[in-house]
Structure 1
Amino acid sequence: MPHWIAGLLGAVLTVYLAGGAYLWAFQEQFLFAPGPPPPPPAETEAPDMAPLTLTTADGLDLVSWYAPPPDDDAPVVVYFHGNAGNVAGRAYKARDLIDVGYGVLLVGYRGYNGNPGSPGQAGFRKDGEAALDFLDGEGIGPARRVLYGESIGSGTALPLAVDRGAAAVVLEGAFTSMVAMALHQYPIYPAGWLLRHPFDNLAAVRSLRVPLLVMHGARDDLVPPEMAAALVETARDAGVPRVDLALFPEGGHVDLFEHGAAARVRAFLDGPS
């Protein structure tokens, strides 16, 4: 082999390995994009919500937002938001859900909303467990809890529904796994070896035993709609008792409430089980 070819291959390999090392070392900066601390609920579309401090199993005091259910039979939507922004950015969605008759708990993650701690799959799980523990203490058990996962929040909502129970699960802009997403965006790297936060929704949905609504925008340019179809197909093959797919023709990644998602959630929860 000529020396110049060997040198070129060596340079390419060096760049490739350096890129992989960079992605591994700084992956949290790619995965998580916390926004600034939110304003008070009174300054948002959901002024009837109130800040709620929850303590996690590892000792973090995290602020979430909560609007209790309107009566003793109404469900509570436990909302796990996506990887960017803060809870205030989901206030308009909470408004729509409150208006159709639900209580809403917007889960405030560690490292987000001015909360202490660093974001991550294991930490988000603890944050979600603290939210469910609070509802248990309020007498709101799994039969009245709807776990809602927006984008990366799906990776917390689904396994919690499997392990802690729920009345139903709703997903918005959900992916099959973060490994699949990484392969979609960086196909030249072995994502399964590099990722510390795999968020494997396909594995979780295979163990789900409550109704599932998967909502996705046909114009989603971040998570391919094919991933929603794969989640639905996997859930049906696994025997999930009811699986609905709502594809919004004009919807993007997480703007489905602008296209009638709240009514779609209500129809799903009011429909046959």
Structure 2
Amino acid sequence: MTVAKLQIATQLWLQLLLLVGIVVAIAYLAICLFLFIQQPRFIFYPSRVIEKTPELFNLPYEEVYLPVRVKSGKVEYIHGWWMQNNQPNAKVLLYLHGNAINVGANIHHANRFYQLGFSVLLIDYRGYGRAQDRFPNEMRVYQDAMIAWNFLVQQQQISASEIFLYGHSLGGAIAIDLAVKFNEAAGLIVESSFTSIREVIAYRNVFRIFPIDLLLTQRFESIKKVAQLKMPVLFIHGTADSAIPSFMSEKLYAAASEPKTLFLVPDAEHNNTATVGDIEYLQTVKAFVEQAHARRLLTTSE
């Protein structure tokens, strides 16, 4: 091969490499843009099909549709079930479920709280079940939880000091955010939840080739909020949880102020802590509620 031909071949290879590099760079930037815009769809997995209702457990309930006024002036609705308990001195639980399915997948666990003597408000965020058809994101679910709180306090005329907040998984992050805003609540129960979406991504070792800190808009930074809590808090987590490791609840517990309790359930996975924990689970929740109530009485009498 002559020198001239070698130079031409080298130039062609360089041009080809440059072209490949440009294509790869464009593809990389396109994926970054896609992740930036579509990231709620990697976090929320709503379903419109409600397979179970409170009728499964013969629970008395009221179907509620709560209005949410959005910036455009339009009114959207969240949906929920208000299961009022007739037991004397019944406490109230605002139940905030995780990122998947809808209220129907949570009725079994909501029934446990009902049997413990709670009146339970179990809600779907917009985009889930029978709630308004708008895909959820971090700000919207925070707003939806606040609407549910206002329903209990304003429409049902329930004292804030009688309301316990419960959140499972992603719902735990939502419950923590709500508890920071309304510190007069009786107590907070956070089950199988995480420190932040950023740490979940790091733990699962996904998207590591992308600048996550720049792209992430759905942060759910519970670890930065728990120190602001001014109510008793109970953290529950299964030690065999493969979706969200239990060390995240341990971190949340360490960062939270007293009074606080950490209940780790040996061998329990992400969605079966109550089943595996069985009697001890119920006793732990009951003891926490009694202690929180006693503390409230002591505080108000001082």
Structure 2 match to 1:93: 109
Cα distance in 2, alignment partners of residues 234 and 82 from structure 1: 22
- Aligned: 1:181 with 2:197: no
2:140 counterpart letter in structure 1: G
Equivalent of residue 216 in structure 2, options 167, 179, 195: 195
Partner SS state of residue 29, structure 1: helix
Quote the residue 2:177 is aligned against. Answer: 159
Following the alignment from structure 2 to structure 1, what is the Cα–Cα distance between the partners of residues 264 and 211?
Answer: 31
* Counterpart contact for 1:41–1:51, Cα < 8 Å: no
Of residues 144, 151, 168, the one that matches 1:127 is 144
Q: Which letter does structure 1 place at the counterpart of 2:175?
A: A
The TM-score normalised by the length of structure 2 is 0.81
Residue identity matched to 1:249: P
SS, match of residue 224 in structure 1: coil
The within-5 A match list for 1:47-126 is 47-58=59-70, 59-71=75-87, 73-116=89-132, 117-126=134-143
Post-superposition offset of 1:201 = 0.4
The worse-fitting range, judged by mean Cα deviation, of 124-133 and 41-50 is 41-50
| Letter matched to residue 174 of structure 2 | T
Instruction: Tell me whether 1:150 sits opposite 2:168 in the alignment.
Output: yes
Q: Is the contact made by 2:51 and 2:105 (CA closer than 8 Å) also made in structure 1?
A: no
- Partner deviation per Cα, 1:68-87 (whole Å, 9 max, x = no partner): 24346321111110000110
Q: Which amino acid aligns with 1:103?
A: S
Distance 1:139 1:41 in 2: 25
Quote the residue 1:217 is aligned against. 238
Please tell me whether residue 34 in structure 1 is matched to residue 46 in structure 2. Answer: yes
- Partner residue of 2:10? none
**1:169 aligned onto 2:188:** yes
Give 2:138's aligned amino acid.
Q
Q: Distance in 2 between matches of 1:66 and 1:183?
A: 38
Identity of aligned residues (%): 28
Deviation at 1:120, TM superposition (A): 1.1
- 1:30-66 C-alpha deviation (Å, 9 max, x unpaired): 1111122315625433632331111124321221011
Amino acid at match of 2:237: H
Equivalent position to 1:265, from 277, 285, 294: 285
RMSD (Å), alpha carbons: 2.3
CA distance, structure 2, for counterparts of residue 203 and residue 255 of structure 1: 27
Aligned to 1:233: 254
Q: Is the 8 A contact 2:54 2:107 kept in 1?
A: no
Q: 1:42 to 1:160 in 2, by over 3 A?
A: closer
Mapped partners of 1:98, 1:133: distance in 2: 21
In structure 2, give the amino acid aligned to 1:244.
Answer: T
* Contact kept in structure 1, 2:166 and 2:175, CA below 8 Å: yes
Deviates more, 1:15-24 or 1:170-179: 15-24
Distance in 1 between residues matched to 2:178 and 2:189, nearest whole Å: 13
Aligned equivalents of 1:258, 1:149: Cα separation in 2: 17
- Paired with 2:58 and 2:145, the residues of 1 have a C-alpha distance of 21
Q: How many residues align?
A: 268
Superposed CA deviations along residues 128-184 of structure 1, whole A, max 9, x for unmatched, are 111111111222122111111111112211111111231111011110011221232
**Aligned equivalents of 2:191, 2:25: Cα separation in 1:** 39
Unaligned ranges ≥5, structure 2: 1-12, 296-302
Contact kept in structure 1, 2:90 and 2:119, CA below 8 Å: yes
Query: Residues 9, 243 of structure 1: CA spacing in aligned structure 2 closer, same or farther, 3 A cutoff?
Result: farther
| Bigger Rg over Cα | 2
Query: What TM-score do the two structures reach when normalised by structure 1?
Result: 0.88
Determine whether 1:24 maps to 2:24.
no
CA 42–95 in structure 1, closer or farther in 2 if over 3 Å, else same:
closer
CA contact (8 A) 2:60 2:83 kept: yes
